[in-house]
Structure 1
Amino acid sequence: MLRRNLMAGVLGVAGAALLGPPRAEAQAHEPVTVAGLRRLVDQAQTDYLACRYSHLASGLPRVIRYAHAARAAVQADQRCQVDALMATAYRHATWLALRLGEDGLAAGLSDQALSAARTSGNLAVEAEAAQMGAVVLRRFDQTDQAQHLVVDTAERLHRDAGLTGPGHTAAYAMLLETGAYTAAIAGRRDTALDLHSEAAAAARTTRHGRPEPLTPSVVDAHYLGVYQISVHRRLGDCGAAIDAARAIRPVSITVTERLVRYWEDVALAYEAWGKRREAFSALLAAERAAPQEVRLRPWAHRLTRQLRSSGPALPGLREFAARAGVA
């Protein structure tokens, strides 16, 4: 039931995109403004950071319809703001489609996000769309294209906008870190570690307070150590991944989306290391942080099946599998 409801939301976003501005405007039941769109996008971002999948899925189709209506209604000098907000909404829709394993839908939504971001002229927004675009490309084993997308966008951000504020610096750091993870997936060890070091150096300048707006890049750069776990795990260095995890106090990760990613990497690193009990403990921690994550995500289902079939029964695993809907 949960997956069906979330799929309905993702398909609703795709449908809203296909409606086009005139019909989208006709569906609006209130005057559309940039401020109104910003409130809707901010709420979607709050749901994204909290891993509230159901709220995000139910709200995104309205956000996209409102965005298209706003673009048709506002003055020309406000359209860049609308495009930037629309790009962020499509980015979150792409994230949700990826969480559901709907890679084809994610590819179409990612194209919409990149198109709107480029039209907006906002390089920080384009950077976030490019990061998500790289994730989509990786799903289709296009690691070279993904690498070029984020590294080229990082170079352009540095050249054209500079790193004068924490928002741009965070976006730059996360483009490099996305490149590091992409290189790790492709087995390019030196490139992965070099890009991670560059990203960490950039991110260090963003950690003095949290600037507004609180974008995904700003949040991710604040918790860049979580990506260090990911990079080492993808390179096959399970011990180094766990050492990186131990350097982070989970209680210090106050953003649910980042905390879930932390426990995902810890669980997968322990499982790859052959430490089944520790892997299951991390999987339970992910469930406590965001129950919908383990009910929906393929990684959690695959890990559950692997733990169930690879050794003696672990206390509580059968009950966990039933809660997560793992057959």
Structure 2
Amino acid sequence: MSDLIPIFDGHNDVVQRLVPYQKEGDDFLQRSEKGHLDLPRAQEGGMIGGFFALMAFHDPPLKEEIVFNATGYEVKLPPPLDLQTAQKQTFAQLNAFYQLERRSEGKVKIVQSFADLQNGLESGQFTMVLHFEGAEMIDPELTALEVFYRAGVRSIGPVWSRPNAFGHGVPFAHPASPDTGEGLTDAGKELVQACNRLGILLDVSHLNEKGFWDLARITDAPIVATHANAHSLCPATRNLTDRQLAAIRESGGLVGVNFSVSELRPDGHLEAKTPLDELVRQVDHLVQHLGLDGVAIGSDFDGAVVPEAIKDASGLQHLVASLRTHGYDDPALHKICHENWFRILEKTWKS
């Protein structure tokens, strides 16, 4: 792997496939043809670690409804989730990650400090940052927050794309503005301040625009979108306007470019044959607005349709090669592929 550019990834949803969280799931330590990510395919693609999302759903699951119209689509999402269900699922997912770490016999490490992250890079150990994609498992009084912090959670998106006690997630739609409703609640604003005190990274990827600006006014940490793209290139609600990108740059923050084709393509189509040039075009735009220090990778593996030229984690170096062809030299590639994430985490975490 020494000749590969190391890649640290800002987001994946592989927890949905992990045993024992899913009884019929996959063993992350074994190569599979299912989904996008496991340890062997990560190593083939030069992936050294990343953010691993935990997320709660209705039980039994409720289906999302996609409504197509003359110009695009919108997704009607299930209602908010109750705290008891969210916590039950979160504990099961935490258990799956810690059992995976134990079974790996040192190959995989759940990191809780920047020193852990740096040691992993130097030793070749695959590193995982535990991330909450939506904070439904945290009570509005925040009594559970430090418990989850001590359990290893180091990154939180206050909302997924549905409302909760902390704010309003941006629903999936195209073409549409990210300005879709109210911002953070009082509990959401307190969550931002509490995460700042503990040194938990805050992710704006699924916040609507008012929530973004509420967080930007409160936080004393860099503003981060772990997996998002530029709205001016693909007018999906999940993407960031150039004004939002300016605020992220001013904070010293970062955006992880999202591989999801419906957030890459100008037409928003769910088409795996999307060329890598669309990803490169997003990287170019983000570099233009954020600077080279403000752009990273945020694949959304196992949570999205990605370009077939990448296919899964084993194909990550195809993106590296495409970026190199478009003029990015090795120092720039190292920044985009892992160094920028390391900079942000060193600055944000307090341990």
Fold agreement, TM-score > 0.5: no
Task: Point out the structure with the larger helix share.
Answer: 1
Q: TM (normalized to structure 1)?
A: 0.32
Task: Point out the structure with the larger strand share.
Answer: 2
